[in-house]
Amino acid sequence: MSKHTFSIGGVHPHDNKISRECALEQLPLAPTVYIGVSQHIGAPSVPCVAVGDKVKVGQVIAEPGGFVGAFIHSSVSGTVKSIAPRADLAGRATTHIEIAVEGDEWLEGIDTSDTLITTIPDDAKAIIDKIRLGGVVGLGGATFPTHVKLSPPPGSKCERVIINGCECEPYLTSDFRTLLEKGEQVVVGAALLQKAMGGVPCTIAIEENKPEAIAHIREVIAKLGYKDMEVMVMKMMYPQGGEKQLIDAVMHRQVGSGALPISVGAVVQNVATALAVYDAVQKGRPIVDNSVTVTGECFPRQANLLVRVGTPLKYIIDYLGGIPADAAKIISGGPMMGRAVANLDAATVKGTGALLFLTEKQTRRAPETHCIRCGKCADACPMGLEPFLLNKLSKNADWEACEANAAQDCIECGCCLYSCPAHIPLLDNIRVGKGFALSAIRARAAAAKAAAEAAKK
Amino acid sequence: MSKLLVSPSPHIHSKDSTKSLMLDVVIALIPAVVCSVVFYGWQELMVLGVSVASCVLLEWAITKYMLKKPSTIGDLSAVVTGILLALNVPYTTPWWVVFVGAVVAVGVAKMTFGGLGQNIWNPALVGRVFLLVSFPTYMTTWSKPQGLFGVDAVSGPTPLGAIQEGLMQGSTVQELTSAYDYKDLLFANLGGSAGEVCALALLAGFVYLCCRKVIKPWITLSIFATVALTSLIFWGVNPARFTDPLFNLLTGGLVLGACFMATDYVTSPMSVWGGVVFGVGIGFLTVMIRYFGSYPEGVSFAILIMNSVVPLLNMWFKQKKFGRK
Ligand code: SF4
Ligand code: SF4
């Protein structure tokens, strides 16, 4: 079995998929949910319900705030209690819609049965519109509105849809369970995406550490008989599931600095997104829940839960037995790119894929020592950057040099900091340089645009 | 759990630390250390002891009393420097000469630059070259066979080649044989520095470092290849005047230098191609110094010269950035 991988850098953290045997399980409904209006990249959505309104599962409660925006649906049935600022996962106050749960009544027209619908509609536009109405956003981490990604700018053409089933972050298993338990739906979702992009070929990329999923999806594709769809076995290597890395691995094309995947003819969607696409298009079911891996060596009960959007973290954790005494850090997402949770009252969002508990020992950073110029950071960087250099430039606040050395290309994968034997907080510093480099680039683009417009007049 | 830790990603770290890498280097040097002690006896052990102890103590004292900073000896880099320095001097070197070497290596070449990572030249080599220049008598007490490196002795290359060959195969069995005279001669032939005795032991350490991914093999291999190729050309043209490739590969601390000194992180280029150019430079300079220079030993000088151009090599040879020309 030939294995594919990206061409530069990468690291091999232990994959620690200790929750891989835990089947998806439905988390009982929380008494109250808090649904945020900024669950995606782009403009926050605008609430379209009022306090006191009765809502049903799947009912729109907030509308897109702009072209790059997404519908937000109620994940429960009940009464809207408040629409007010509330601390999110990172501790920032954003508008949340609080709903007291009463029963579990779904909006009419949503097909909640398990019947698999495999016929693919003919009209690409209609598919994309249903995806938009379903509030589907990229669930692999970026939460970019999917319908926007599926509408390439004029002049660019999609040549291949890639379904990202790498799940290259250690510990995470929710995509793996989804592939195993809802493989049919994922494959139909992939076929829908193929259709939406004009009948292009599709590759489902799965890392080699998930042989059951690879075999199962191959079987499903054969059974359903979709054309131009294949499973590609990826080498176990982080960040295999990084969008640019995956395109490089699958299509041998490198997306340029600041460019979008579509510029090389690729559209990448993750497994959970493909499932959401299936639900939205075939079942009329918007995103109201998502699968969340709850894991960590110190956590007593590993699980892969189906969680309604807006469920407070505390509720999930209490359901599984509470926070273990030796847990020092809770991470929303994986250990390489996930975010540390500042507040347990925060509620899940569409993109919440995991809750990971790490002990002090697992997550402690050793004190920083001198750079020994070993080059391990540069070897590890999947973008071919020189982290030791960017680190220095950032610390010297030399933003021009940061840009000249491509700090803006950093995907914040963490490989550099992970590998550095001197424990230098490379990425922490590089993020700052990246921020300044990006804003310089944006400012120049804006100025150029303004100048061009002025010249036209 | 009282309070949640909140810090940026990544939240985990590889097991590598400066200390673990240096420990691997120490482990990789063990076969060579054992070999040299077996061959040279207690005198070699004393050289090793003095060298390592002085390097570690000096670093400790300098950080504590002069820099007033937390001690860095825990990273084990001083131990590595100590072992390398010891393997670079003859076993007959008096203890105080070894100590002077350590002062130069750690005190001058390493700590005045700001400690590990800031230095330009390999500390152990600076120490060695300083001793070579300042105390040539002690450093060349293998004077008898020194002729082997010079022009005169090379006039009979075939027996020399035969000796070297026998040595390569014989070096591991030598502990078993009790022909001390024979051994002494052989070691002397090899140049007399402890680390130059056991090519096989050094190579074993090198393979270990590569397997543990502590170093990449390219620098070392390009040194070997360049030395072999360059001396092949010269030797091919005039075998009466120039020593043969195998002789050049196995003598004068080339293996020690190529495996452990040229691959020092701090003083070697980061990228693969930078490393290859670095290695080619070392290999070529080594052979040139040996053939045409006034010192019998070329590796140390060659490495130090190439150390100086590392910043340039780092600038010229960079990894191709993703998605950029
Ligand atoms: S975080 Fe940025 S600089 Fe560090 S390895 Fe990843 S892409 Fe490279
Ligand atoms: S990995 Fe750390 S010690 Fe090594 S070169 Fe990069 S910054 Fe320096």
Instruction: Give ipTM to 2 decimals.
Output: 0.86
Question: Are B194 and B112 members of one domain?
Answer: no
Rounded to whole angstroms, how far apart are CA atoms B148 and B251? 10
Question: Are A276 and A383 members of one domain?
Answer: no
Chain B hits for A360, Cβ within 8 Å: 5
What is the pLDDT, as a whole number, of residue B189?
40
Would strands A202-207 and A160-165 be described as parallel, antiparallel, or unpaired?
parallel
Q: B248 CB near a chain A CB, below 8 Å?
A: no
| Residue B77 clears pLDDT 60, i.e. is over it | yes
Quote the DSSP letter at residue A343.
-
For helices B18-40 and B77-87, angle between their N-to-C axes, nearest 10 degrees: 30
Question: Are B172 and B242 members of one domain?
Answer: yes
Distances (CA, A) of B320 to A72, A252, B31: 42, 15, 38
Question: Are B257 and B227 members of one domain?
Answer: yes
Ligand 2 centre distance from Cα of residue A340 (Å): 25
pLDDT tens by residue, A304-313: 999 999 999 9
What is the pLDDT, as a whole number, of residue A221?
94
Question: Are B108 and B165 members of one domain?
Answer: no
Query: Which residue is closest in CA terms to ligand 2's atom 3?
Result: A371
Rounded to whole angstroms, how far apart are CA atoms B22 and B17? 9
Question: Are A263 and A383 members of one domain?
Answer: no
* DSSP H/E element including B96: helix B95-102
Q: What CATH number corresponds to the domain at position A152?
A: 3.40.50.11540
Question: Are A139 and A273 members of one domain?
Answer: yes
Question: Are A385 and A256 members of one domain?
Answer: no
Question: Are B307 and B196 members of one domain?
Answer: yes
Question: Are A263 and A151 members of one domain?
Answer: yes
Residue B177: band (very low, low, confident or very high) from pLDDT cuts 50, 70, 90: very low
Ligand 2 centre distance from Cα of residue A332 (Å): 28
Question: Are B116 and B207 members of one domain?
Answer: no
Tell me, yes or no, whether A3 lies in a domain: no
Ligand 2 centre distance from Cα of residue A419 (Å): 8
Residues in contact with ligand 2 (CB, 6 Å cut-off): A 371-377, 387-388, 419-422, 424, 426
Ligand 2 centre distance from Cα of residue A421 (Å): 7
Domain extent at residue B226: 161-316
Rounded to whole angstroms, how far apart are CA atoms A137 and A149? 9
CB B285 within 8 A of CB B291: no
Question: Are B199 and B271 members of one domain?
Answer: yes
Q: Which of A249, A282, A315 is the last residue of a domain?
A: A282
Tell me, yes or no, whether A106 lies in a domain: no
From chain A residues 351-370, the ones with a CB under 8 A of any chain B CB are 356, 358, 360, 362-363, 365-366, 369-370
Rounded to whole angstroms, how far apart are CA atoms A452 and B192? 75
CB A191 within 8 A of CB A183: no
pLDDT tens by residue, A107-162: 988 998 888 998 888 888 999 999 999 999 988 777 889 999 898 888 888 999 99
Q: pLDDT averaged over chain B? A: 79
Q: Choose the mutation target among A369, A385, A402 for the interface with B, i.e. most B CBs under 10 Å.
A: A369
What is the pLDDT, as a whole number, of residue B171?
36
- Closest CA in chain A for residue B5: A329
Q: Residue-wise over B308-325: b if at least 16 C-beta within 10 A, else e? A: eebeebbeebbbebbbee
Distances (CA, A) of B6 to A87, A171, A343, A435, B139: 15, 19, 10, 21, 57
User: Hey, are the CB atoms on B7 and A365 less than 8 Å from each other?
Assistant: yes
CB B267 within 8 A of CB B119: yes
Tell me, yes or no, whether A182 lies in a domain: yes
Tell me, yes or no, whether A312 lies in a domain: no
- Ligand 2: which atom is nearest the Cα of residue A372? 3
Q: pLDDT averaged over chain A? A: 91
Q: Which of B139, B173, B200 is the last residue of a domain?
A: B139
Residue B296: band (very low, low, confident or very high) from pLDDT cuts 50, 70, 90: low
CB B18 within 8 A of CB B77: yes
CB A237 within 8 A of CB A194: no
Tell me, yes or no, whether A18 lies in a domain: no
Does residue A410 have its Cβ closer than 6 Å to ligand 1? yes
Q: A214 CB near a chain B CB, below 8 Å?
A: no
| Residue B182 clears pLDDT 70, i.e. is over it | no
Q: Which of A251, A282, A313 is the last residue of a domain?
A: A282
For chain B, how many structural domains are there in total? 2
Cα of A190 to nearest chain B Cα, Å: 27
Question: Are B83 and B207 members of one domain?
Answer: no
Q: Which residues contact A284 (CB under 8 A, 6 or more apart)?
A: A109, A110, A111, A130, A134
Rounded to whole angstroms, how far apart are CA atoms B296 and B132? 11
Tell me, yes or no, whether A167 lies in a domain: yes
Chain B hits for A330, Cβ within 8 Å: 4
User: Hey, are the CB atoms on B14 and A418 less than 8 Å from each other?
Assistant: yes
Does residue A387 have its Cβ closer than 6 Å to ligand 1? yes
Question: Are A257 and A140 members of one domain?
Answer: yes
Q: Shortest CB distance from B1 goes to which of A91, A323, A342?
A: A323
Residue B305: band (very low, low, confident or very high) from pLDDT cuts 50, 70, 90: very high
- Edge-to-edge strand list for the sheet holding A60-63: A46-47, A60-63, A72-73
| Residue B174 clears pLDDT 50, i.e. is over it | no
- Ligand 1: which atom is nearest the Cα of residue A377? 5
Residue A231: band (very low, low, confident or very high) from pLDDT cuts 50, 70, 90: very high
Tell me, yes or no, whether A58 lies in a domain: no
**Three-state DSSP class for A234?**
strand
Please name which of B317, B274, B275, B312 lies closest in space to residue B120, comparing C-alpha atoms: B312
Domain extent at residue A438: 376-456
Residue B21: band (very low, low, confident or very high) from pLDDT cuts 50, 70, 90: very high
Cα of B210 to nearest chain A Cα, Å: 14
Q: Which of A282, A304, A330 is the last residue of a domain?
A: A282
Tell me, yes or no, whether A65 lies in a domain: no
A–B interface: beta-carbon pairs under 8 A: 151
For chain A, how many structural domains are there in total? 2
What is the pLDDT, as a whole number, of residue B35?
82
pLDDT tens by residue, A42-59: 888 999 999 999 999 999
Would strands A72-73 and A60-63 be described as parallel, antiparallel, or unpaired?
antiparallel
User: Hey, are the CB atoms on A329 and B6 less than 8 Å from each other?
Assistant: yes
Tell me, yes or no, whether B322 lies in a domain: no
Question: Are B53 and B178 members of one domain?
Answer: no
B232 burial type by CB count under 10 A (0-12 exposed, 13-18 middle, 19+ buried): middle
Question: Are A274 and A402 members of one domain?
Answer: no
Question: Are B132 and B166 members of one domain?
Answer: no
Question: Are B165 and B312 members of one domain?
Answer: yes
Ligand nearest, relative to CA of residue A407: 1
- Which residue, chain included where needed, has tokens 């130069």? B104
Question: Are B25 and B124 members of one domain?
Answer: yes
What is the pLDDT, as a whole number, of residue A133?
92
Chain B hits for A254, Cβ within 8 Å: 322-323
Chain B hits for A431, Cβ within 8 Å: 8
Q: Which of B139, B173, B202 is the last residue of a domain?
A: B139
Please give the structure tokens belonging to residue A281: 């298009």
Query: Which residue is closest in CA terms to ligand 1's atom 1?
Result: A412
